[in-house]
Amino acid sequence: MIYENQDQFEALLQLVLKEKGLDCRQYKICYLKRRLNVRMRATQQNTYQAYRKFLERDAEEYDRLLDRLTINVSQFYRDPGVYQQIKQVVLPAWRRNLSVRVWSAGCANGEEPYSLAILLREELPKLCQVRVLATDIDPICLERARKGVYKARALATLPEDFIPRYFRQENDDWVIKPELQRRIDFKRHDLTGPIPGGPFDLVVCRNVLIYFVRALQEKLFREFHRCLAPGGFLILGKTETLLGEMRNKYQTLNIRERIYQRI
Ligand SMILES: C[S@@+](CC[C@H](N)C(=O)[O-])C[C@H]1O[C@@H](n2cnc3c(N)ncnc32)[C@H](O)[C@@H]1O
């Protein structure tokens, strides 16, 4: 049983901000409490104050907590319908481009930016320079993403003929080939802070905003608008949606797959 106390809860969030730079106040409270409670039960602490003291004694518990707070679940070609729609709705706009810049924000272990780079490589003229900026707050999953080493089961969602083209086998693992890897810059970035400059032709921010409070979501929709090139595209996760005044600043191209275009 966990005993709730708002002051203790806020003191705990302050500590995480001070020690780890993670501004938990921007995450939805019910989500935060659910995740925190998992760690509190695992460490048998039943008040926020007791857990705060536990964190101060055990530096490794911070990593376990941050791991719980930043859910890194992803998949190659996650929601294949989105990739189908990028092909049909987004790519025709870029047929004559000499370069395309994409930002995958909240890229987890790299499945999303690699999937995007593969799709663009397959579908755009070879002359077109594709650059993908892939960012996440979690340095551990970014390191995994940079290495680009995956188990066979992780590739099961990719179209089969892409696998030998973009991966080489090393024992039980599949490793991204360098010609794809060098199109992607992996960088640590916190979406609660300042946003990269752009301009981007496409911003993909999927299954991240859902954890943030509405004010931060609205701020990010404004910032994405600012860093998108004119006519650039924004793609959200299937359970996320544009909110507030920014609904008038994007045209909805496919509501089911959450594909929007900057007006
Ligand atoms: C569920 S994954 C989504 C991965 C991918 N976009 C997808 O849809 O498959 C959410 C990712 O958001 C990252 N994340 C959480 N809070 C963040 C923040 N404040 N700034 C940047 N990334 C964050 C997590 O580390 C995690 O890798």
Task: Tell me, using a 6 A CB cutoff, whether residue 115 lines ligand 1.
Answer: no
**74 belongs to a structural domain:** no
Task: Give the model's pLDDT for residue 185.
Answer: 98
One domain, residues 114 and 237: yes
State the residue range of the domain holding 39. Answer: 6-69
One domain, residues 166 and 103: yes
How many Cα neighbours within 13 Å face the side chain of 148? 23
Q: What is the 3-state secondary structure (H, E, C) of 89-111?
A: HHHHHHCCCCEEEEEEECCCCCH
What pLDDT band is residue 59 in, cutting at 50, 70 and 90? confident
Ligand 1 centroid vs 238 CA: distance in angstroms? Answer: 14
Q: Select from 247, 251, 208, 246 the least CA-distant residue to 231.
A: 251
Q: How many domains does the chain have?
A: 2
What pLDDT band is residue 10 in, cutting at 50, 70 and 90? very high
| 3-state class (DSSP) for residue 77 | coil
Beta-ladder partners of 226: none
Task: Tell me, using a 6 A CB cutoff, whether residue 32 lines ligand 1.
Answer: no
Residue where one domain finishes, among candidates 69, 95, 120: 69
Give Cα 105 distance to the centre of its chain: 4
Residue 22 has pLDDT above 90, yes or no: no
The pLDDT tens digits for 149-191 are 999 999 999 999 999 999 999 999 999 999 999 999 999 999 9
* Residue linked to tokens 């810059």: 185
Task: Tell me, using a 6 A CB cutoff, whether residue 217 lines ligand 1.
Answer: no
Ligand 1 centroid vs 145 CA: distance in angstroms? Answer: 13
**22 belongs to a structural domain:** yes
Q: Model-level pTM?
A: 0.93
Determine contact, residues 104/135, Cβ cutoff 8 Å.
yes
One domain, residues 134 and 155: yes
Task: Tell me, using a 6 A CB cutoff, whether residue 208 lines ligand 1.
Answer: yes
One domain, residues 230 and 175: yes
Task: Give the model's pLDDT for residue 251.
Answer: 97
**208 belongs to a structural domain:** yes
The pLDDT tens digits for 220-240 are 999 999 999 999 999 999 999
Quote the CA–CA distance of 10 and 38 in Å, as a whole number.
18
| 3-state class (DSSP) for residue 39 | helix
**129 belongs to a structural domain:** yes
One domain, residues 40 and 165: no
Which value, in Å, is the radius of gyration of the alpha carbons in the chain? Answer: 20
One domain, residues 114 and 58: no
Residue 253 has pLDDT above 90, yes or no: yes
Q: What is the CATH number of the domain that holds 106?
A: 3.40.50.150
One domain, residues 252 and 142: yes
One domain, residues 217 and 93: yes
Task: Tell me, using a 6 A CB cutoff, whether residue 258 lines ligand 1.
Answer: no
**47 belongs to a structural domain:** yes
Determine contact, residues 149/175, Cβ cutoff 8 Å.
yes
> Atom of ligand 1 at shortest distance to CA of 104?
6
One domain, residues 60 and 85: no
Ligand 1 centroid vs 78 CA: distance in angstroms? Answer: 14
One domain, residues 17 and 111: no
Residue where one domain finishes, among candidates 50, 69, 88: 69
Q: To which H or E segment does residue 180 belong?
A: helix 178-181
Residue 82 has pLDDT above 90, yes or no: yes
What pLDDT band is residue 36 in, cutting at 50, 70 and 90? very high
**75 belongs to a structural domain:** no
One domain, residues 64 and 84: no
Task: Tell me, using a 6 A CB cutoff, whether residue 155 lines ligand 1.
Answer: no
Q: Determine the residue type at 159.
A: P
> Atom of ligand 1 at shortest distance to CA of 74?
9
